[in-house]
Structure 1
Amino acid sequence: MDDQAREVGHLMLITPERVFYAGLLGRPRERCPGAFHVYVAIKGGLHLATSDGRESYGDLVVTMPNLRHTIASDYRSAICVAIEPESVRVGALESYARQLMGAESQVFADRIRAAYAALARRQYSDDLSNAEFDIMCFGQALPQRVLDPRVVRAIARIGKFSGEPVTAADCAADASLSPSRFLHLFKEETGISFRSFRAWKRARHLLHFANQDINLAHLAQDIGYPDSTHFSHSIRRFYGLKPRAIFSGSRDLAIYHSSGSFTAAAAS
């Protein structure tokens, strides 16, 4: 662990629509997470290569949701801030990426490092809202997306991860729509298919347990994977690491949870 990581510790704060992670990146293998990612170096710099041919080096780099990329750090530890795209107004993330990588890139990097130190001292509330999280990390709140109430309910159902896996048919029935009409509505509102959205949220839910000594086969079943092979393939696709590697590298990781405000903005 590098000097600053030792000083404030490896940690992860998880809210329903935000994640702040400071810890090991693991080997630089291709990953394709479903969230908007802002990577910040704790020391040195970061090397980013994306599937669309972009390569960059700096102490702050940004990737859009569902973009395959490889990230490597000069030091073993780095900071990653993740934002769920369905929680932000359409087009805002593209605009914000340009701002983060623009003339004030260093200011944003320093602010995120300061947020790291503040989180290590537990200087946040247990019900940290999206706006409070954004202000802590970026100095401003990102504009919230307003979703159809039927899609809001479906997202909430997916996010419970209890009992049988949520299906599109279940959500369609709840919305009083045919499955095909519901699937169209869901993609129209969120910008991603129901199946892809559910797969990402399932993989994201794994983060809550990353520092626990837990049976991975049982965990896979509990959060809705049909078998261990599917579980391993899915996690590697999103994170570039096998589940066992994630858990092995998270033994010293302090994980904090904040209830936040789960996509409360629904069209009336």
Structure 2
Amino acid sequence: MNRAAQPGWQGEIWLAEDHCLVTGRLGRTDSHQHYAHQLLIGLDADVEVCLDGRTYGGPRILIPSQQAHAILSESVQCITLFAEPLAFCVADLQCLGESANAVEQLAMRMRTWPRSALDPRLAKALGRVRAIGEKSLPAHELASVASLSISQLERLCTSQLRVSVRRLVLWQRLRMAVQQALAGANLTQAALAAGFADSAHLSRSMRRHFGLTPSEIVRDLRLGAPG
């Protein structure tokens, strides 16, 4: 069966500032890795994933940041949580997932869960990243916002956010492109609005980070908020 004929991700996606919730049917993905921790909660069957070449299954699967993985389940009703390490640790997700069997319940807990404290200078740089648009955002500009040298900013990002400055900016651009596409922009418009060179550039980045093309991600998902 080719990819176009396979069931894709179906349901609703909610993009918050430091996390994302998806509720609906899972679709298979190629191997990929992304900045966010990921928690999968199967609602009508166990979830299966491939981690480091081994298959794991269960009602809840937790995938730490930057760990290569592939989703093997198809059409399983599932809650998927993506949570940024800058705000949440793996232990947070373990606690959050233990008692959450409804997306509304998990959304409420995510809104009120205490975030990890950030160095105030890093928080300033992060605020600039959150406000990213179609223009470039060089490291020296972020460093200036944070009143740091570029090397100091890089060290803070690596130690506190567990990601380089460049990858943090790319992660935010990917989030923005998905939001634009789900809001009705075509993929070229979404790519340009998020600062990618073109839709092909966006597609390559999406496949590396999510194991899917942008069209596969947005095809059967709608933008919304649980509750």
TM-score of the pair, normalised by structure 2: 0.83
| Identity level (%) | 24
Provide the residue aligned with 2:129 in structure 1: 158
Distance 2:134 2:50 in 1: 39
Distance 1:21 1:147 in 2: 26
Distance 1:216 1:241 in 2: 14
Provide the residue aligned with 2:5 in structure 1: none
- Which secondary structure state, in structure 2, belongs to the residue aligned with residue 20 of structure 1? strand
Question: How far apart are 1:33 and its partner, in Å?
Answer: 2.1
Distance 1:170 1:34 in 2: 22
Q: Which of these two proteins has the greater Rg computed from alpha carbons?
A: 1
Provide the residue aligned with 2:40 in structure 1: 39
Label 1:176 to 1:240 Cα distance change in 2 as closer, same or farther (>3 A): same
Equivalent of 2:199 in 228, 235, 249 = 228
- Which secondary structure state, in structure 2, belongs to the residue aligned with residue 113 of structure 1? coil
The answer as to whether partners of 2:43 and 2:76 remain within 8 angstroms in 1 is no
Distance 1:115 1:228 in 2: 32
The answer as to whether partners of 1:212 and 1:247 remain within 8 angstroms in 2 is no
Label 1:221 to 1:57 Cα distance change in 2 as closer, same or farther (>3 A): same
Provide the residue aligned with 1:114 in structure 2: 102
| Paired AA for residue 67 in structure 1 | Q
Runs of 4+ in structure 1 off by over 4 angstroms are 96-100
What do the CA deviations read for 1:139-166 (whole angstroms, capped 9, x no partner)? xx3x532211121111111111235232
The answer as to whether partners of 2:25 and 2:78 remain within 8 angstroms in 1 is yes
- State the aligned residue count: 218
Question: How far apart are 1:17 and its partner, in Å?
Answer: 1.1
Provide the residue aligned with 2:173 in structure 1: 202
Provide the residue aligned with 2:154 in structure 1: 183
Question: How far apart are 1:64 and its partner, in Å?
Answer: 0.3
The answer as to whether partners of 1:48 and 1:72 remain within 8 angstroms in 2 is yes
What do the CA deviations read for 1:240-259 (whole angstroms, capped 9, x no partner)? 11111112122xx242399x
Distance 1:22 1:98 in 2: 18
- Which secondary structure state, in structure 1, belongs to the residue aligned with residue 102 of structure 2? helix
What do the CA deviations read for 1:186-230 (whole angstroms, capped 9, x no partner)? 222212111111112221223323434322112111111123222
Q: Please, which moves more after superposition, 225-234 or 58-67?
A: 225-234
TM-score of the pair, normalised by structure 1: 0.71
Equivalent of 2:187 in 216, 223, 228 = 216
Label 1:85 to 1:29 Cα distance change in 2 as closer, same or farther (>3 A): same
What do the CA deviations read for 1:30-69 (whole angstroms, capped 9, x no partner)? 1212111110112112111112x44311111110011110
The answer as to whether partners of 1:20 and 1:79 remain within 8 angstroms in 2 is yes
| Paired AA for residue 173 in structure 2 | R
Distance 2:180 2:134 in 1: 18
Equivalent of 2:225 in 234, 251, 256 = 256
Unaligned runs of 5+ in 2: 1-9
